[in-house]
Amino acid sequence: MPKLPKIEETDYFTNRTYKNEEGDIVGKLILYRIKGEKEFGYFMICQYCGKESEGKVELKRRPYRIKCIHCGKTTTVEKIKPKKR
């Protein structure tokens, strides 16, 4: 795991997990932007190939998408939906 900023240092921070059809967690994405910076930082465990990557990326439009540097597949940061009961 990389060193992550404190949440109060960021103006965007999300921590998502991704599950396969069986409901097992197969991927993870932490995406954040430090206040005043243009680029986002991320740490990802790819839900498709399982490899880790991290880096900086400029994201302009929502939903934000991070491309895996290993397999080239894209993980999307979906809007969090309210839970249905």
Decide whether 10 or 75 has the Cβ nearer to Zn ion. 75
Annotate each residue in 47-66 with x if it binds Zn ion (CB under 5 A) or - if it does not, as one string. Answer: -xx-----------------
Residue type, 18: Y
CA 69 – CA 8 distance, rounded (Å): 29
Instruction: Out of 46, 64, 66, 77, name the contact with Zn ion by CB under 5 A.
Output: 46
**Smallest gap, in angstroms, from Cβ of residue 68 to Zn ion?**
3
SS3 8: helix
In terms of DSSP H, where are the helices of the chain?
none
Residue 41 CA from chain centroid, whole number? 9
| Residue 16 in contact with Zn ion, rule: CB under 5 A | no
**Smallest gap, in angstroms, from Cβ of residue 25 to Zn ion?**
15
Q: Are 15 and 27 in contact (CB under 8 A)?
A: no
The residues binding Zn ion (CB under 5 A) are: 46, 48-49, 68, 70-71
